[in-house]
Amino acid sequence: MITKRIIPCLDVKDGRVVKGVNFQGLNDVSSPVELGKYYSDNGADELVFYDITASAEGRRLFTDILTEVARTIFIPLTVGGGINTVDDFDRVLKCGADKVSVNSGAIRDPRLIFEAAKRYGDQCVVLSADVKRVDGVFRVFAKGGRENTGMEAIAWIKKGVELGAGEIVLNSIDTDGVKKGFDLEMLDAVCSAVSVPVIASGGAGCIEDFVTLFQTLPRVDAGLAASIFHYGEVTIPALKQALKAHNIPVREV
């Protein structure tokens, strides 16, 4: 039985993790290497590093850091942010990333998904979609959720899978940051539409939100979150204990 994955997401800017993170035993709370190792040692099933740098210098720093992370951590690493071309895939894969997540770059040019999947395999291409309800319709937003593309979300995600995306990260803008639970309605719609793994993102506020997610929607493969892990509101060992107690399969560490 495949286990449900728990995935912390780290935003990296100019080589440092943004959003103050404060764990006991961490010397440098904004070092992606130290934090990555902390999560890896404490039961994370996968890590997502998201590059929110805007400058070329910041991007170079990011790839240096990524190389260091990949040298230290032996769980799957997904990288996103600033991925617009197949060369961008090449750049982060050479640093040791296992999967690459595309968002705005794929919206601008959907062929990116196809070209990357053809070269590196479907399993390497993750389509990340920021989705929000507009007048009762799920719409895809670009540029970090700031711009309504007008595209209907389910159709876009289905198209992404047809082009070769091997996994979907569904981030609900409606529930993101609200901490009242994942967007079960939106996730259900996506899970019903595609047969590739779906990773839920946006809205987790406590352990029970993950239990509800996997109990209500057994087809969801993973739960992703950032601040609740970073601020220690939810620890991954405690989360996995609770999931296990509800007979939800998890990897114990």
Partner 1 sequence: MIAIVDYGVGNLFSLKSSFAAIGHEAVVTGDADTLRKADKILLPGVGAFGDAADKLRATGLDQVVIEEARRGKPLMGICLGMQLLFDKGYEYGEHDGLGLIPGEVRPIAEVIPAGLKIPHIGWNALRFTENKSPLFQYIKEGDCVYFVHSFYAANCEPDVIANAEYGALLTAAVQRGNVCGCQFHPEKSGKVGLHILKAFCEEGNLC
Q: Tell me which stretch binds partner 1 (CB under 8 A): 26-34, 74-82, 149-157, 224-232.
A: 74-82
Q: Is 86 in the site for partner 1 (CB under 8 A)?
A: no
Catalytic site residues?
11, 130
Distance in Å, CB of 76 to partner 1, minimum:
5
For partner 1, which residue of 14, 98, 115, 233 counts as binding (CB under 8 A)? 98
Q: Nearest distance from residue 37's CB to partner 1, in Å?
A: 11
CB of 128 to partner 1, least distance (A): 17
Q: Residue 185 or 252: which CB sits closer to partner 1? A: 252
Q: Round to whole Å and give the CA distance between 144 and 127.
A: 14
Of 170, 112, 111, 165, which is closest to residue 140 (Cα–Cα)? Answer: 170
Look at the block and give the residue holding tokens 């009762």: 136
Ramachandran angles phi, psi of 47, nearest 5°: -125, 140
- Specify the DSSP element, H or E, that contains 17: strand 16-17
Based on CB atoms, which residue is closest to partner 1, 166 or 181?
A: 166
Cα–Cα dist 149/75, whole Å: 34
**Segment contacting partner 1 by CB under 8 A, of 11-19, 21-29, 67-75, 157-165:** 67-75
How many chain residues touch partner 1 (CB under 8 A)?
Answer: 30
**Using rule CB under 8 A, residue 114 touches partner 1:** no
Q: Which two tokens stand for residue 10?
A: 């780290």
Smallest distance from partner 1 to CB 134, Å: 30
The span from the CA of 67 to the CA of 13, in Å, is 16
Q: Tell me the closest approach of the beta carbon of residue 113 to partner 1, in angstroms.
A: 17
242 makes contact with partner 1 (CB under 8 A): no
Residue 27-66 contact track with partner 1, rule CB under 8 A, x = bound = -------------x----x---------------------
Ranges within 213-232 binding partner 1 (CB under 8 A):
221-222
Rounded CA-CA distance 24/120 in Å is 39
Contact yes or no for 113/156 (Cβ under 8 A): no
Query: Interface with partner 1 by CB under 8 A: which range of 79-87, 106-114, 129-137, 189-197?
Result: 189-197
137 contacts: CB under 8 Å, gap ≥ 6: 152
The residues, any chain, with a CB within 8 Å of residue 249's CB and separated by 6 or more, are 1, 2, 3, 4
Measured over the CA atoms of residue 49, residue 150, residue 160 and residue 138, the dihedral's sign is: positive
Which residues contribute to the site for partner 1 (CB under 8 A)? 1-3, 5, 40, 45, 70-72, 74-76, 93-96, 98, 121-123, 166-167, 195-197, 221-222, 251-253
